[in-house]
Amino acid sequence: MKADIPSERKGPVTRLCAHTHTSLHYGDADLVETLIGKKTFTEVLLRQILGRAIRPVDVCIADAVLVVLMEHGLTPSSISTRLVYMSAPENLQGAVAAGLLAVGSQFVGTMENCSRLIDRVRDAADPQAQASAIAREYLQARKAIPGFGHHLHKPVDPRAYKLLDLARAQPELAGAHIETLMLLSREIDAVYGRAITINATGAVAALLGEIGVATDIMRGFAVISRAAGLVSHVVEERQCPSGRFIWETIEEAIPFVPGRADAD
């Protein structure tokens, strides 16, 4: 966007970026003079997304979150990337984009689902009663609770508790989101009659809330982080191809059965 928009202009505007023939600005920061070589990628992305001055604690928390979300092995996102790259190796960005489409409400991006539960508890007149009601709601529906439980990490998800310990060590954070997550955890354990681990995306929801990331934007951090992880999967796919093996394994494992699926 050119940096010559009159102040009286009506209609849509942008405050993210502007350029002239001799300069380029991210917001009011000169890219060449004040950002390149002076600010980290995390600092700049937070400033662009949050629209405010960034504190060291914001960078600390965001860096930890981005590292945690980058990788989790051969999951739907990375498998998608490997298969698409096998099919179209000239299109690296397409392979990464295919993997990013799997960042959603079931895998990687579940921090948004958990953050909505945290919001419900924080907004309630009786937070403890609301947390207990949420636990009963999911138990009766026989559904997994966003931010809790893990099919691989038992009895606890070590990533989650490392993140929470890191956040608790930051005196600049108010701790309200973390306290609410722990209240929800206690009520879930009480209703279910057993300990259910807080998982990584549950902790991420609380940490991002602590630095002021809105619930509906949290999944964007998963997209940013997982994109880096998927590029590494492309690199490994080039060095040690697995896409065709995955394809052939599925072809053998899922037999053809003649007839319509809805036939009597």
Instruction: For residues 226 and 104, give the distance between their C-alpha atoms in angstroms, rounded to a whole number.
Output: 12
- How far, in Å, CA of 196 to CA of 188, rounded? 7
Residues 182 and 118 grouped into a single domain: yes
| 3 state SS of 165 | helix
Give me the pLDDT at residue 196, please: 93
Residue 101: inside a domain, yes or no? no
CATH number of the domain where residue 170 is located = 1.10.230.10
pLDDT given at position 74:
87
pLDDT at 109: 61
Residue 104 lies in a domain: no
Phi and psi at residue 79, to the nearest 5°: -65, -45
Collapse the DSSP code of 17 into the 3-class scheme (helix H, G, I; strand E, B; otherwise coil) and give the result: strand
Tell me whether residue 174 is in a domain: yes
Predicted local distance difference test score (pLDDT) of residue 149: 80
Which stretches of the chain drop beneath a pLDDT of 50?
none
Q: Has residue 76 been placed in a domain?
A: no
Query: Does 115 share its domain with 208?
Result: yes
Instruction: Decide: 178 and 115 in contact? Cβ < 8 Å.
Output: no
Residue 87 domain-assigned (yes or no) = no
Q: Which domain holds residue 145?
A: 109-213
What pLDDT is attached to residue 110?
82
pLDDT on residue 156? 77
Whether residue 140 lies inside any domain: the answer is yes
How many whole angstroms separate alpha carbon 68 and alpha carbon 64?
6
* Assigned domain for 38 exists: yes
Q: What is the pLDDT of residues 135-151, one digit of tens each?
A: 999 999 999 999 998 66
Tell me the whole-structure pTM to 2 decimals.
Answer: 0.86
Same domain for 113 and 191? yes
Count of structural domains, the chain: 2
How many residues comprise the chain?
A: 264
- In this structure, is residue 47 part of a structural domain? yes
Query: How many CB atoms are located within 10 Å of the residue 192 CB?
Result: 16
The tens digit of pLDDT for each residue in 57-116 reads 999 999 999 999 999 888 899 999 999 999 999 999 999 999 999 887 776 668 899 999
